[in-house]
Structure 1
Amino acid sequence: MLDDFLMRAALAGLGVALATAPLGCFVVWRRMAYFGDATAHAAILGVALSLAFSTSIFAGTLATALAMALAITSLSERGYAIDTLLGVLSHAALAIGLVAVSFLPGARIDLMSYLFGDILAVGRTDLAVIWVGAALVLGLVAWRWSALLAATLNADLARAAGIDPKREKMILTLALALVVAVAIKVVGALLIAAMLIIPAAAARPLSRTPEAMAVIAGAIAGLSALSGLWLSYLYDTPAGPTIICVAATCFALAALRRLSRL
């Protein structure tokens, strides 16, 4: 029978996979890959603030990720180039977070787990937070699926149907910040964007409908989490990066399948 810490790690990986898969589809459709990356980098600043004020890591990362996402959305609507904003705010937040953590005694070792993830150290409380967060994200996406899809496909048609594209973008931003806060313990801030993008990108050539793409992305993300965890345990490799490597392999296989049909 598997050890308790492995069972918790497996359940944590599945929870993150379920949360990132449908949201990752919208990230791919909207070409928001670097948006997710910037939000994830801001989470390091949230970790630093949480450690400094002895508050919940989840609350700190959620607050800073949400603040970053809202700042990017607001400034992009004021005429700033989105790629410039992402570059400036993403790297600035990451740098400020790393510098802030360096002033905290004894925090450097902990920082590595938040940069690259430490799924094997997930406790019962972390597991509860991950699954509650995943349930909230899934519920939010399921509730707004049609509106989010309409706003993603064509903003003008969405307005004609009575859907506010800005509101749907804010809902997507909120869900993205929640996913970052949930996933940081499992794959780390530097790999969260990969977990969002790679399974969805791998599912794209294998699906014919948006719903099918979300389901297939979830299956690929779950397979990557469990397989990556098993390979990490077998070969003593870092768990978070190993999970991403498995996901990247799935993407390569999907891409080869697509190319073979051309």
Structure 2
Amino acid sequence: MENATGNTMEGANFSLRDEIKAYWSARAATFDEQPGHEIFSEDERQAWRRLFMRHLGTGEGRKALDLASGTGVVSHLLDGLGFAVTGMDWADPMLALARAKAKRNGRPIRFVMGDAENTMEPDETYDVVTNRHLVWTLVDPKAAFAEWHRVLKPGGKVLVVDGDFVNPGPVARLVRKIAALAARFGLARDKHHGPATSDMAATHQSILSRVYFSQGARADAVADLLKEAGFETVVIDTDMRAIHKAQRKNFSLFKSLERATQHRYAVVATKRA
């Protein structure tokens, strides 16, 4: 068994969930330094706002549950749109950073510890449930989606933002080969992104190989499971171009090309009114 840094833990009895929690706890310290996690420009912020408004509208005091909230990036976006936000994460270091950030920015966001697959929140509490880059890590998405359906009010919506990080297309595969060759000869260097050490990268791959979507979290598969959980209307939105364009300056040319060709998407599902 390995811990979040990839080192063997003698006598440990970790479940996969424990490993995922430990991994993201270890990633917390550098989470906001990484493009694709924190927002680094007003253009990117506005692109994210447009995506959320396109599917959720403005908050007007409605209650939002932001799952796997991390350091509160999406929670802050929702608060800025007028939602009454609860951010939920199960990693203590993430929650500590999120609370400090909200206090520093004067945001009235409530951050609580909890499991996205078993929130323990009351029935029909929230108008919207959101998450970004959570679904690919879920051990039991069927249980999670049923849980999200339970905590939503009738007519409420869940917004999933995620991607298939397992199956690169032909363009992405070519870009990876060129990038690796360029890096080998010192011709290209990415700004800080992803796991900071080889051990953590190995742990990331180990976790990815054992979660439900180990073969890749495709939008249509996510949509099918949301329908199975009882959601009435499910819409897939693959137009992430504005976000990718705004993020481009924070990546090398090769990383930018790879990211733009990945299968990234938003899925919005509505509970029957």
Shorter chain as normaliser: what TM range? under 0.3
Q: TM-score, normalised by structure 1?
A: 0.22
More strand by share: 2
Q: TM-score, normalised by structure 2?
A: 0.21
